[in-house]
């Protein structure tokens, strides 16, 4: 199933906030100043890691932390209530 198309309005808002925070237009090529366009979104962590490792840009110190297994389940003990 193909993802829904991104509207021009959404694209403008996205790039506006990036420009505002980082003071650079994410859709302008830093080399030739030409307009760039998004051709794909990569959201699979393994694929992102593989690409960044290939480019020599992956640092384990910046890798997302491993998730720990679920801990003890929290329960509510009504006898420990402070409501009178």
- Mind listing the pLDDT tens digit for each residue in 56-68? 988 876 666 676 6
Backbone angles phi, psi at 29, to 5 degrees: -65, 125
* Number of neighbours of residue 62 by Cβ within 10 angstroms: 8
81 located within any domain: no
Domain assignment of residue 23, yes or no: yes
Nearest to 36 by CA among 20, 24, 44: 24
Structural domain includes residue 75: no
Range of the domain at 23: 1-59
Number of structural domains, the chain? 1
The answer to whether residue 32 is domain-embedded is: yes
In a domain, 82, yes or no: no
Q: Is residue 45 part of a domain?
A: yes
Residue 71 belongs to some domain of the structure? no
81 pLDDT band, cuts 50/70/90, is low
What is the pTM for the complete model shown? Answer: 0.41
Q: Is the pLDDT of residue 83 over 60?
A: no
What average pLDDT score do residues 44-48 get? 91
Q: What is the pLDDT of residue 80?
A: 63
The whole-number pLDDT of residue 32 equals 94
pLDDT given at position 13 = 80
């Amino acid at each position: 199933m193909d993802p829904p198309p991104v509207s021009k309005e959404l694209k403008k808002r996205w790039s506006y906030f990036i420009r505002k925070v980082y003071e650079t237009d994410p859709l302008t090529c830093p080399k030739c100043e030409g307009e760039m366009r998004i051709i794909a979104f990569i959201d699979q962590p393994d694929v992102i890691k593989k690409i960044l490792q290939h480019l020599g840009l992956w640092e384990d110190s910046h890798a997302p932390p491993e998730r720990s297994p679920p801990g003890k389940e929290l329960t509510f003990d009504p006898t420990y209530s402070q409501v009178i």
